[in-house]
Amino acid sequence: MVAPDDCPSQAEYIKYFEDAISVMQTEAALERIAYELCVDSAEENIDYLEVRWAPRLHQRSGLTVPEVIAAVLAGLAAAPLHAVAIVCAMRQDSPEDNVALAREAGLFAGKGVVGFDLGGDEVRYPAAPQRPAFEAARAAGLRLTCHAGEAGDPSSVEEALRLGVERVAHGVIGARDPRIVELIRAGGVVLDLCPTANWKCKAVPSLAEHPLPRLVRAGVRCTISTDSRTVAETALSHEFELASEMGMSDDELRRCNETAYEAKFG
């Protein structure tokens, strides 16, 4: 279930989610796993958690999307911290299917679901065709974010920005283009950066070359996050330690955490 350090690409990294997904196909399993994620997070002194997952990946045993969402929300509701959900569409799914997903997620707006996201293989599946799903999610009262900038070229981040998102999950490859960095900064868009996962996806050649410190110093609003604790084999405390090893000061790390509170959807 853990992606190796020498994982060659984002597409290969994503494959390591499969074993976990295979055992998350019942309401009981989804509720328990959501709850246990919150317990593990609370043990790190985390008091606010956004859980992103793709409901359509959990229908192999016949669950409907509303049943999947309700099961996860039940686990989050029992948590020893404030936990909310962001529903992810997948790039490989049709725009029509993702519009339906956005509308179903919107039925839970104000009931634990706070946002809408898009994940999956960036190289094979562009984000632009999914605009109708983002429009449906916005109309349903959900906040918008998008996975981009872990594969391909910097234009994938600009493509995500055109969807009207407030935040971009990762955006690392976009940091190679000063014009896109300025678009992010000027728009006040937040980058949710996950150093270990970004490195394992090979969005950066090494952790020492991660753009987080220079983005923060350039005035880009950044948070420090985990991606998947299991597949990346990390925890939030470790990600902050890595950022410190990159040369970030305590004040800069504190600013990232303050940004997370300012930009939270829940």
List, by residue number, the catalytic residues: 150
Phi, psi of 4 (to 5 degrees): -75, 160
Distance linking the first and last C-alpha atoms of the chain: 29
Task: Please list, residue by residue across 147-174, b when 16 or more beta carbons sit within 10 angstroms of its beta carbon and e when fewer do.
Answer: bbbbbbebebbbbbbebebebbbbbbbb
- What is the CA angle 172-50-201, rounded to 5? 30
Q: Closest by alpha carbon to 240, among 208, 196, 185, 199?
A: 196
Give alpha helix (H) positions in 127-211. Answer: 131-139, 155-161, 178-187, 195-200
Q: In what order do the strands lie in the sheet with 113-119?
A: 48-53, 82-90, 113-119, 143-148, 167-170, 190-193, 221-224
| Helix, strand counts (H, E) of the chain | 12, 7
With H, G, I as helix, E, B as strand and everything else as coil, classify residue 193: strand
Rounded CA separation 19/62 (Å): 18
With H, G, I as helix, E, B as strand and everything else as coil, classify residue 169: strand
Residue with tokens 């029509």: 96
List, in order, residues 6 or more apart from 201 with CB less than 8 Å away: 7, 9, 10, 13, 150, 151
Q: Which tokens go with 38? A: 């919150």
